[in-house]
Amino acid sequence: MYQAGLNLRQIDEVNYQDRWRFESPRWAGSDSLGYLREVSHDGAVFSNEAAAAYIHTGPATSHRYIRCPEGLLPRLSHESEGSGREVYVLWFNGVGSIRCHGRDYGVSDLLVFPELEPVAFLDDGFLFRFDDSPTTPADPYRLHRAEYESLTATELVVRSTFDVYRDGDKLTYVKEPCSMADTEAMFFLHVIPVDEADLPKNRRRWGFDNLDFRFPVSGVRFDGRCMATALLPGYPIDYIRTGQYVAGEGRLWEERIPPAR
């Protein structure tokens, strides 16, 4: 009862404050949500955007919100023991940070747990299955290494401070070698559509979609490199402006990406 109320309350708040958000092409075309709809999971799904999963996959699956990652495993274990069903974690990339104890948490903070077994590496997220008796230690960068190796099959659209690769509706930002200082500035990502009517209503007067992000939310450091992912809207794109900036100081670098051929 509490969980249903929590979901419905957040949905009501989103509908009142930001109606377009979960009905936007980003969610309607989500690879992760499509996977959940196609593959039936008889269990609970913990997620950093449980409302989106609830809205697009229905109430048949129990949806739970991720709070601080360091307190996640006891919640997963309690859910598993209490229900006797499988328990999953679905982490969406680039949807805002989980801030606990003064810092932002991203998917890399989940990958350190050997109890989280990768099930699917999706265009806009990761799906894990909870296993309270893991037989192998976690490699926190296993999925990111696989993603990095797959970049050779995608299109390099920017060669700059960060190289940017495009694979359909996904952009991957890579820098090697990379330091923490390289990722402290905000990344800006402005998408200019072919038809302004495709923009969310609150962006139409600006003429572009603002998908700015911070590296701790969408990125990870491993093997001396930095890599971050961002999901583009599903509508036809005229061009993209992207780079990094520091508030009050201006842009550190900026590039324009033409539409994919």
Instruction: Give the separation between CA 106 and CA 96, rounded to whole angstroms.
Output: 9
User: So what's the pLDDT on residue 173?
Assistant: 97
pLDDT at 60 over 80: no
30 and 118 both lie in a single domain: yes
Q: Which amino acid is at 92?
A: F
Q: Domain of residue 190: give its range.
A: 143-257
Indicate which CATH number applies to the domain containing 252. 2.60.40
pTM (predicted TM-score): 0.62
| Domain endpoint, select from 136, 162, 178 | 136
71 and 156 both lie in a single domain: no
For 73, the token pair is 């495993």
192 backbone φψ class: left, alpha, beta (φ>0; ψ -120 to 50): beta
Return the CA Rg of the chain: 19
107 and 18 both lie in a single domain: yes
pLDDT: which is higher, 160 or 8: 160
62 and 126 both lie in a single domain: yes
Cα dihedral 30, 34, 37, 39 sign: negative
102 and 159 both lie in a single domain: no
pLDDT at 59 over 60: yes
Instruction: Give the separation between CA 84 and CA 130, rounded to whole angstroms.
Output: 12
154 and 251 both lie in a single domain: yes
Question: For residue 26, what pLDDT band results from cuts at 50, 70 and 90?
Answer: confident
| Domain endpoint, select from 117, 136, 155 | 136
pLDDT at 100 over 60: yes
Percent of the chain's residues with pLDDT above 90: 36
pLDDT at 12 over 90: no
Instruction: Give the separation between CA 158 and CA 189, rounded to whole angstroms.
Output: 13
Do strands 86-92 and 116-122 pair parallel, antiparallel, or not at all (unpaired)?
A: unpaired
pLDDT at 18 over 60: no
129 backbone φψ class: left, alpha, beta (φ>0; ψ -120 to 50): beta
* Phi, psi dihedral angles at 99 (to 5 degrees): -105, 120
pLDDT at 65 over 60: yes
pLDDT at 5 over 50: no
User: So what's the pLDDT on residue 228?
Assistant: 93
Per the structure, the count of domains in the chain is 2
Do strands 186-193 and 237-246 pair parallel, antiparallel, or not at all (unpaired)?
A: antiparallel
User: So what's the pLDDT on residue 21?
Assistant: 66
pLDDT in tens, 191-247: 999 999 999 899 999 999 999 999 988 888 999 999 998 989 989 999 999 999 999
Instruction: Give the separation between CA 229 and CA 217, rounded to whole angstroms.
Output: 10
153 and 250 both lie in a single domain: yes
pLDDT: which is higher, 36 or 60: 36
| Domain endpoint, select from 136, 163, 185 | 136
181 and 83 both lie in a single domain: no
84 and 170 both lie in a single domain: no
75 and 168 both lie in a single domain: no
11 and 121 both lie in a single domain: yes
181 and 116 both lie in a single domain: no
